[in-house]
Amino acid sequence: MIFGLPLLSVAIWLPIIFGLLILATGHDRNAPMARKIALIGSVLSFLVTLPLYFDFDKTTSAMQFVEMKEWIKHFNIHYHLGVDGISVLFILLNSFFTPLVVIAGWKVIEKRVAQYMAAFLIMSGVLNGVFAALDAVLFYVFWEAMLIPMFVIIGVWGGPNRVYAAMKFFLYTLLGSLLMLVALIYLYNQSGGSFEILDYQEMAIPMNAQVLVFIAFFMAFAVKVPMFPLHTWLPDAHVEAPTGGSVILAAIMLKVGAYGFLRFSMPIAPDASHSLAGVMITLSLIAVVYIGLVALTQADMKKLVAYSSISHMGFVTLGFFIFNVYGMEGALLQMLSHGFVAGALFLCIGVLYDRVHSRQIVDYGGVANKMPIFAAFFMLFSMANSGLPGTSGFVGEFIVIMGSVKANFWYAFLAATTLVFGAAYTLWMYKRVVFGDITNDHVAHLHDINFREKIIFSLLAIAVLGMGLYPLPFSEILHVSVNDLLVHLARSKI
């Protein structure tokens, strides 16, 4: 606690309050003010989350920075917040991205600026809430609430087919959530009237009920991750969303689903998790291999990165369900790294799109001649996406593959194909877009990235390289929590 502030509450509510403040500026003639408030709000919100990292006690897996207040007495629902090594990094990641998104939309968004900025700040607060909530209903409220700003972001500022994409996004996610709600009601009654997630983790549940609970949670989280075959909303949503929306979707929202597996599915239904692990691993490997191949054929850059995200998230779920410490830690590092890398790639595509207004690979070629600095950054992030050693992309993938060798050689073999496919689709796209001769007038008139964009890319480059060269500051935070989670998973709860 710094100055006695309830840090998690501040991390949740500060951006939301700023978001409402921005909404109050109203009309577009006040856009400069809306932008400034958004920047101040998002930077402040990031700064207040820093103590979460520095004051974090790395030696325990217990919940820290806990806040607990009675909320709805009738149902014994509490305003219960807390973080452990698994969740704390995602709050930081999320708060780190919000200012970047605000800066990225600084000039590009010209209509309804206040609403755009407000939506991102409110969503940032809500996402922090998802990661910090320890009460199931509180979690559910944040989980659903994050749909509303995203729905609006895709639908208002998105591309030509935005309405279809926004609807698909919302209904897909809602389907999963509602089944999760049924599971929560079951757990509430089974536990004798508690909505504490930590109580659920300790509670004995018969095997058949565990399987049903697992499936209900699976529907909610697998849609979000997204896992094959529930992934089809993602390419649509990504393609149609504005740059900022794609960044938050890829960097944070997908992580929410994976986080759900670690917080709900696996600890609450460990026996079901073990018995269904084969299915989960199969689906993950299909995502890694098949979706990787699908990515190879894409003509649209955003779609390509979207499919690459699905493929990379396959790694994450693979890491979870091989139940060893390498797999899980690697998966968590992969989540963080993918946050940085996919976010950065979407920002790169955004930079090109803002100038040329096309996402098609064929409309580019020879960009390096006109935008050398941009080409360098883009190169770094593409390399990271293909898992080059020294970048953050390598760390997670390598550790997960190491973990899966321990579990089964063929898992590792199939997972490792991503090093080939990932390099193939990313670098091939990079080659077609950036290298070669200048192909058309649009490219000939390109100008290199400005100061604003340089700041964004530099910050991300530092993160990607930093994490690739020295991942310890990240892995030491989650180490104890992961170990204890694995011990917990090894115990039967029937």
Partner 1 sequence: MSFLSTLFPAYAEIFLLLMVCVILIADLFTTGKSKSVTYLMMQFTLLGCSLITVATHQNGIFYLLNNMYVDDLMSDVLKLLSYLAVSMMLVYSRTYLMTRGLFTGEFLALTLFSLLGMMVMISASNFVSLYLGLELLSLSLYAMVALQRDSAIATEAAMKYFILGALASGLLLYGMSMLYGATGSLDIITILNAIQHGVSNPSLLVFGLVFIVSGLAFKLGVVPFHMWIPDVYQGAPTAITMLIGTAPKLAAFGFIMRILVEGMQPLMVHWSGMLAILAVLSMAIGNLTAIAQINIKRMLAYSTIAHMGFLLLGILSGGIEGYGSAMFYAVAYVLMSLGGFGMVLLLSREGFEADKIDDFKGLNQRSPWLAFMMLLLMFSMAGVPPTIGFYAKFSVLNAAFQAGHTNIVIAAVFFSLIGAFYYLRIVKLMYFDAPESHEKIYMQPDSSLLISINGLAVLLLGILPGTLMSVCAVSVQQSLMLH
Q: Which residues bind partner 1 (CB under 8 A)?
A: 23, 26, 71-75, 112, 115, 137, 140-141, 144-145, 147-148, 151-152, 155-156, 162-163, 166-167, 170-171, 174-175, 178-179, 181-182, 185-186, 188-189
How many helices (DSSP H) and strands (DSSP E) are in the chain? 25, 2
Instruction: Find the shortest distance in angstroms from Cβ 188 to partner 1.
Output: 7
Q: Shortest gap between Cβ of 191 and partner 1 (angstroms)?
A: 13
Alpha-carbon distances, residue 110 vs 414, 426, 455 (angstroms): 46, 31, 21
Q: Is 357 exposed, middle or buried (0-12, 13-18, 19+ CB in 10 A)?
A: exposed
Amino acid, res. 254: L
Between CA 192 and CA 315 the distance in angstroms is 37
Which is nearer to partner 1, 126 or 349 (by Cβ)? 126
Identify any residues that bridge with 77 across adjacent strands, giving them in sequence order.
72
Nearer to partner 1, 181 or 207 (CB): 181
Least separation in angstroms between residue 48's CB and partner 1 is 22
Which CB, 189 or 492, lies closer to partner 1?
A: 189
Distances (CA, A) of 152 to 14, 36, 124, 126, 322: 21, 22, 14, 15, 38
Q: How far is the CB of 77 from partner 1 (least distance, A)?
A: 8
Q: Which is nearer to partner 1, 75 or 410 (CB)?
A: 75
Beta carbon of residue 38, minimum distance to partner 1 (angstroms, whole number): 17
**Closest to partner 1 by CB, 88 or 154:** 154
**Cβ 6 to partner 1 shortest distance, Å:** 17
> What is the torsional sign of CA 371, 377, 381, 383?
positive
Residue 406 phi/psi, 5° resolution?
-60, -35
Nearer to partner 1, 153 or 280 (CB): 153
Q: DSSP letter at 58?
A: T
Instruction: Give min distance, CB of 119 to partner 1, in A.
Output: 11
Q: Where are the alpha helices (DSSP H) in 389-471?
A: 392-407, 409-434, 441-444, 451-469
Spatial contact of 374 and 348, defined as CB atoms under 8 Å apart = yes
**By C-beta, is 136 or 288 nearer to partner 1?**
136
